[in-house]
Homo-oligomer: A and B are copies of this chain.
Amino acid sequence: METIAILGGTGKEGMGLGTRWARAGRRILIGSRDAAKAQDAATKALSDAPGASVDGATNEDAARAADLVVLTIPYAGMEAILSAVRAACAGKIVVDTTVPLRQFAPPVLDAMPAGSAGATAQRLLPDARVVAAFHTVSSAKLHKFGEPVEGDVLVCGDDADAKAKVSELAGLIGMRGIDAGGIDAAAALEQLAAVIIGMNQRYKKKSIGVQFTGI
Contact = CB atoms under 8 A, between A and B. Distances in A.
Interface of A: 106, 138, 141, 150-151, 154, 178-181, 185, 187-189, 191-192, 194-196, 198-199, 202-203, 205-215
Most buried by B among A151, A154, A207, A215: A215
A154 to B, nearest CB: 7
B211 A150 contact: no
B198 A181 contact: yes
Main secondary structure of the interface of A (DSSP, over half): mixed
Contacts of A194: 188
B180 A214 contact: no
A93 B69 CA distance: 48
20 contacts: A106-B181, A141-B214, A150-B213, A178-B199, A180-B195, A180-B199, A181-B202, A188-B188, A188-B191, A188-B192, A189-B195, A199-B212, A205-B214, A208-B212, A208-B213, A209-B214, A210-B210, A210-B212, A210-B213, A211-B213
A185 B195 contact: yes
Listed residue (A138, A141, A209, A212) with the most chain B CB atoms within 10 angstroms of its CB = A212
A213 B180 contact: no
Given A210-B213, A211-B210, A213-B210, A191 B187 contact: yes
Contacts of A180: 195, 198-199
Contacts of A208: 212-215
Nearest to A198: B181
A205 B179 CA distance: 13
Given A192-B188, A198-B185, A214 B138 contact: yes
A113 to B, nearest CB: 15
A154 B210 CA distance: 12
Nearest to A150: B213
